[in-house]
A and B are shown apart, each in its own frame.
Chain A
Amino acid sequence: MSVLSTGADWDFDLLDRYDTAIARIAHDEFGLDTYANQIEVITSEQMLDAYASSGLPVGYPHWSYGKEFIRNEHAYRRGMQGLAYEIVINSDPCIAYLMEENTIATQALVIAHACYGHNSFFKGNAAFRQWTAADAIIDYLVFARRYVLECEERHGHAAVEEILDACHALMHHGVDRYRRPVPLSLKAETARLAERETHRERQFNDLWRTVPVATTTPSSLRRAVFPAEPQENILYFVEKHSPRLEPWEREIVRIVRKLAQYFHPQTQTKVMNEGWATFWHYTIGNRLHATGQVDDGFMFEFLKSHTNVVYQPAYDVPHYNGINPYALGFAMFCDLRRMCEAPTAEDRTWFPDIAGGDWLKVLDFAMRNFKDDSFIAQYLSPRLIRDFRLFAIADHRHEDALKVDAIHDDHGYRRVRRLLAQQHANDERLPDVQVLRYDREGDRTLTLRYTQRRGRVLDDTAQEVVVHLRRLWGFPVHVETWEDDVQQTHLGTIAA
């Protein structure tokens, strides 16, 4: 086949031709299943805008987005930070932003990476299939923005900002991890909102105010514990049961909760998602070159960008910033392919089901059915542990020094793999704080339980979060710390 272009310049016609060539490889040769693509070319200023709103094309206004924007702009202007080549949004059609400053090689890389890599991941991975409605998210964002603006007009900026601040503090604890939410759409949501509000209005009866209040509670009346089971979704509980929230405030809590839920799968699949997209831009780029559609100059630039992305510095260099999800994910998918195509004896022992199999099927299965922690626990091979020279450090409170727990040797492989998987699990990032009791018949106190493991306490900002929660709840809020079913009294409860 003939070369698509030479030189660095691009135009829309050329982008279109590259997209067609990439789509042919992705769909026909490798069978990737994707949503339709919508590629939008934007300027660097617009990219900064997009950064501030997590890439979402519409969003409600809030100062924290302004802060994010200012931070990025400042860093960018000073040259401390480059901009990402692209941002991609999990929606149907899948929207990808390309920066106009990119050369054609970078644009092609980005198209392969975002429009075919991420896109197929969004469509195929279980976490996304289960938790997000790609076809409805933009609609919902439009609804959310309009609603928040309306509230600001009716109730003032300060009141809305206060509620949003409080909700943002609890955003990560406003997620259902194990139940599937129903898909949303603008029309259904507006209708349901009206219904919810009229229902609440109907519930209101001024007569209750006149009912005499018993001055003493019969001691024989045993109070039932509510909720019967601890609730992990704190924002949901607030939305449904807060004794003082106004209807519009409840709706804002709901909006923040829905957004948190939408972003939840992304935090769960960072390694897989980036690894998958990187694997595909690399594979597709090489196919373009092998079939003679791009020249060597293109490929040099392509590979330079690629190697920047998958660079993993060692733990002791100054710019080390954790394990690079691009590097780890890319290496793991490449390793899976290698095990299928050229298995070693070690692979046959460790991965008998995979070694020598059909790599396209193996990768497809892996992409669809895992999250980061289970993916690593399942597929991280001894060979990769050696390549990355991974080692685990134990930091225990009763030891006066750190200890090397495991390294890349026969005794250590499984241990390193398990620890690395754990490190990517939800519980490692977020403390397990749940709603324990709502004293409905008493003083309406809300009690949360922090289930502490291995002596890991909450950090200092917990107090501020509790103050925010109290604002939403309207009555006292306590956090109790429990470890192994024993309440940790010496730490004291956090209260507001």
Chain B
Amino acid sequence: MTHLIDRRLNDRGKSAVNRERFLRRYKKHVQSAVKKMIGERKLSDLEQGGEVRVPRKDVAQPSFGFGRGGDRERVFPGNREYSTGDRIPRDDGGAGGGNGTQGGEGDAQDDFVFSLSREEFMQIFFDDLALPRLARTELGQVQGTRTIRAGFTRTGAAANLAVVRTMRQALARRIALGGALADERAALERALAAAAAAGDAHAVAAIEEALQRVDRRRRGIAYLADPDLRFRHRVPRPEPVARAVMFCLMDVSASMDEEKKDLAKRFFSLLYLFLTRKYGEVDLVFIRHTDDAEEVDEDTFFHDPRSGGTVVYSALALADEIRAARYASGWNVYAAQASDGDAFGADPARSARFLRERLLPVVRYYTYLELCAADGDVRPSSLWAEYERLVDTENGRFAMRRAGSREEIYPVFRELFRKEASA
């Protein structure tokens, strides 16, 4: 007796739990692989899955087995040229170990390779990161509205007419009004029949007239009348908004060489990827500046070369201008600035003051990334010195870090956006 069962529609993720356990066990390997991939990849294809290699000995499951050496015999198929007693030189030089059956040994020494999906990659990429001060917004400090359905109403725009509901109302009204008349008519017909049987012509005429009256009234009941109309009702409901605007400020002056610009781009790319994961709606404003600032599009920002002097203040002023014009309310404002800090004269002090007085009060988080030379120039710039004073006074709203090489970008980024412990 045989049962045939179609299991094709059953769960197919049966191994998902085991896969997840595997990833958890080798998290360290996966994380370091992800870190390496970030270093190697171009920005444009950062957001992809990737291959992870784990040394095979780390995933091996040990058990008692035979090592090399000792005496043994093995049987093989396909003899063509050998006869008993022939001697075959060992090709591996070492003693022991059958030859043929261990042919797979070379492969066995390779790394254990597997692929991460895009989601898994991004998950690990941004593991343990959070937007600073996001909580306040979620608690509803910034409110917006969204319309939701709230039943039906008798008045409304034609576009919102609920046809089915309206027809149901009409039917109910017709039954309610017409029912009594139908009864009345039936009674009159019975009376007419009785009168006709009795031969009372006078009564017959009176009843027929009454019948016509009833029919007239029945015809008067409208098929569809104004009171039947029903419209879909929508009401606005207040909702916390998780919209964000990100100001990316980059110094493209002559002192910013390609190396430094590359670092800045990496930093902004990370930030961009990160924000798009955290917020449903992210607006980006790219501002680049030399001695004066201009707003540019993403492509120009990242790829278009330009050079000149450095006036940081111009960029800050433009950012504030744009914020006031387009993002005055209902937005979480973040800003990130990347520069080598090579500003002159009164500019650093003026910029720091402007930042403290105008920008910092309205942004959630302001990060400053100072790009220094890779060979370890540790002398702080004039801008750094001015900004440093803000860190203490601006309590968590402002953060600054230095980075000199590609490898540092990711750690710095992680540090700036680390999940605040037990927030």
Q: Which residues of A contact B (CB under 8 A)?
A: 12, 15-16, 19, 23, 36-43, 45-46, 48-49, 52-53, 61-67, 69-71, 73-74, 77, 93, 97, 100, 115, 157, 161, 165, 168-173, 312-317, 320-323, 388-397, 400-409, 411-412, 416, 419-420, 422-423, 430-431, 433, 450, 452-462, 464-465, 468
Contacts and interface: CB of A to CB of B under 8 A. Distances in A.
Given A391-B75, A465-B62, 6 more contacts: A43-B8, A49-B15, A73-B114, A400-B90, A402-B87, A423-B74
Contact of A454 (B24, B70, B104): B70
Contact of A46 (B14, B62, B69): B14
Nearest to B66: A456
Contacts of A409: 83-84
B100 A322 contact: yes
Contacts of A423: 74-75
- Do most interface residues of chain B lie in helix, strand or loop, or is the interface mixed? loop
Interface residues of B, number: 66
A391 B76 contact: yes
B77 A393 contact: no
B73 A37 contact: no
B65 interface: yes
B73 A41 contact: no
Interface in B1-57: 1-8, 10, 12-15, 17-25
B74 A393 contact: yes
* Interface-central residue, B7, B14, B15, B114, by most chain A CB under 10 Å: B15
Nearest to A327: B77
A420 B73 CA distance: 9
Q: Which 6 A-B pairs have the closest CB atoms?
A: A314-B78, A66-B22, A456-B70, A66-B18, A459-B67, A455-B70
Contacts of A468: 62
B88 A69 contact: no
A395 B74 contact: yes
Contacts of A161: 21, 25
A380 to B, nearest CB: 10
Contact of A63 (B10, B21, B115): B21
B72 A454 contact: yes
22 contacts: A41-B4, A46-B12, A63-B22, A64-B61, A69-B22, A74-B113, A165-B61, A389-B80, A390-B79, A393-B75, A394-B72, A402-B88, A407-B79, A407-B82, A409-B84, A419-B74, A450-B64, A455-B70, A457-B67, A459-B66, A461-B63, A461-B65
B63 A171 contact: yes
B98 A49 contact: no
Contacts of A450: 64
Given A46-B8, A74-B115, A172 B22 contact: no
Contact of B100 (A157, A173, A320, A460): A320
Contacts of B75: 323, 390-393, 416, 419-420, 423
Contacts of A395: 71-74, 96-99
A313 B77 CA distance: 8
A52 B18 contact: yes
Contacts of B20: 66
Interface string B79-107: 11011111111100001111111011000
Contacts of B344: none
B87 A401 contact: yes
A15 B253 CA distance: 75
Contact of B114 (A71, A390, A402): A71
B235 interface: no
B180 interface: no
A392 B100 CA distance: 12
